[in-house]
Structure 1
Amino acid sequence: MPEGPAPAPVIQRLRVRYAKRGRLRFTSHRDISRAVERAVRRAGIPVAFSAGFSPHPKISYAGAAATGVASEAEYLEIGLIATRDPARVRADLDAALPDGLDIVDVVAVGREKSSALADRLEASEWRVRLDGVQETDAAEAVAAFLEAAAIEVERLTKKGRRRFDVRAAVSALEAPEAGAAEPARRAAEAVDAPCAILRMVVRHTTPAVRPDDILTGLRQVADLAPPSPPLVTRLAQGPLDAVTGEIADPFELDRGELSPDREAVRPSGDDAVTARGPALPQSDPAASADVAGARS
């Protein structure tokens, strides 16, 4: 056993929602964790450390998006040795992080027993921009995908090459008109520039079904092959409502009930939109997806 006093106990746990935008989507998860640790030190946040010969800050991540994918809904949890105001932590941590890693929300875990954050992340909502693909072709491919009973794809995983069904994991898949999804951008583009947008809600399964797996399935059933890499943005992740098919805020809801993480009245109307993602001024998801596709 290492000599010296035992590490200070965790007094408060904070759960953080952050966004990965622009060129930061190409940052690996390991580099993001290093950036967060540096930002915690710079912001003077009293983070707790593990015991042992090589103490580590008690920061855990849940449901991290893959490298190359932008996201408006990444989550982590920090253990503190002293109580801090979540709003102040949000501001200080955001100021200490590089542009493109933006803190969206911070909440304190309630005193009551709270479910694990990872257990609440049951599904993700994705937006996939397919440049060079006609909207009609995308809509036909989506229809063929949804009609299939099962669609097996193969991918190299940590356990080797595996075949798995991607159809069962898809709760919703649609191809809304790109013009309706991003009117400002489409107004500035040439009318004949093809672009299709896919919106998908995917359950978190084992092995994980990713947007690129679904694109592989679309290629199998409808020969849909985008000529350029897709621009993928995660818009939300959290509890999946089995009735509506919508994804709830994991900070606000706990299996359909008000979460002990918050002790506030659930908002409605315009306030509900703000509460779901009180983001910084540059947080528009459609803009994030486009910036994320900027080529160096």
Structure 2
Amino acid sequence: MAGSRRVPEGPAPDPAVQKLRIRYAKRGRMRFTSTRDFQRALERAVRRAGLPMAYSGGFHPHPKISYANAAPTGAASEAEYVEISLTRVVDPAAVAPVLDASLPEGLDVIEVVDAADLPGALADRLQGSVWGMRFLAARGEAWDAEGMARAVASFLAVPELHVPRMMKKGPRDLDVRAAVLDLAVADTLVPGVEADPDGGDVVLLASLLHTTPTVRPEEVWTALRQVSGLDLPRPVSTRLRQGPVVDGTVAETLDDGSV
């Protein structure tokens, strides 16, 4: 338009020279934080830690942070991942404690590595998850570890198990069985899952493919109730591992290339 002037966008942002891949945990009450809540907490933590963040250009620059496949709100996790881009090369090992100290208790940084040392994009490596599903014992329950094992055997014996999920466009049937790589009753204490086997708690280990849409532990629980006829209580679920699927097994995302 004649007479109009282009508003300058300001100086170009400094380029990103390093990308860090971060593994963090959601523990305790922090399992109820939403993805957006975590994003705000991480951006504040990055500023407090004084990291040289890279920013996008334009009128509204934002920090270059990539989030991938967050656990559902209400689920704990020992294996959440995020990537941040920096304008200066730093020591990843030195970043971990500083960033962890800047996050709220229960959002805990476990490991930080240079993404250049790892194969593939982060999102491409998150092909499956291992979940610990803790079923709390309660008075009068009609199930135990042996009953749960029978329910698991019934689940694995069928080719399909459909469970409805309400989507934006209405209900949709998900084939839960197709997403399950493995399902078993844990016979030992599982690190990351606070269970009391002596008090009657039962923990299932569920290895799930990341299908579209992703099948959640809650839908595995629903399918188990369906196939077994047991009135199983809703489990407390914790993601224990997340990464590439190799020979039917979920590997660790931060492995250095052997997978």
Deviations 1:191-220 (A, max 9, x none): 5x4321111100001011111111111111
Unaligned runs of 5+ in 1: 258-296
Inter-partner Cα distance in structure 2 for 1:88 and 1:79: 16
Inter-partner Cα distance in structure 2 for 1:82 and 1:182: 39
Inter-partner Cα distance in structure 1 for 2:218 and 2:147: 18
Q: 1:28 to 1:206 in 2, by over 3 A?
A: same
Alignment of 1:172-211 (within 5 A): 172-177=182-187, 180-181=188-189, 186=196, 193-211=199-217
Residue in structure 2 matched with residue 235 of structure 1 by the alignment: 240
The one-letter code of the counterpart of 1:123 is G
Inter-partner Cα distance in structure 2 for 1:89 and 1:181: 31
| Residue 185 of structure 1, CA deviation | 6.1
Q: Percent identity?
A: 51
Residue in structure 2 matched with residue 246 of structure 1 by the alignment: 249
Residue in structure 1 matched with residue 4 of structure 2 by the alignment: none
Match of 2:127 among 122, 128, 149: 122
Residue in structure 2 matched with residue 157 of structure 1 by the alignment: 167
Root mean square deviation of aligned Cα: 2.0
Deviations 1:167-206 (A, max 9, x none): 01100000124xx32699648xxx5x43211111000010
| Residue 251 of structure 1, CA deviation | 1.8
Residue in structure 2 matched with residue 23 of structure 1 by the alignment: 29
Q: 1:249 to 1:182 in 2, by over 3 A?
A: closer
Q: 1:234 to 1:97 in 2, by over 3 A?
A: same
TM-score, normalised with respect to structure 2: 0.89
* Preserved CA contact (<8 Å) 1:86 1:106: yes
Match of 1:78 among 63, 76, 84: 84
- Superposed structure 1 runs of 4+ greater than 4 Å apart: 182-185
- When Rg is computed on C-alpha atoms for both structures, the one with the higher figure is 2
SS at match of 2:19: strand
Inter-partner Cα distance in structure 2 for 1:109 and 1:129: 33
Alignment of 1:3-22 (within 5 A): 3-22=9-28
TM-score, normalised with respect to structure 1: 0.78
1:69 aligns with 2:75: yes
Alignment of 1:24-43 (within 5 A): 24-43=30-49
Unaligned runs of 5+ in 2: 1-6, 138-142
Match of 2:147 among 132, 137, 140: 137
Inter-partner Cα distance in structure 2 for 1:15 and 1:26: 23
Q: 1:6 to 1:209 in 2, by over 3 A?
A: same
SS at match of 2:44: helix
Alignment of 1:254-269 (within 5 A): 254=257, 256-257=258-259
Q: 1:185 to 1:50 in 2, by over 3 A?
A: closer
| Residue 43 of structure 1, CA deviation | 0.2
The one-letter code of the counterpart of 1:225 is D
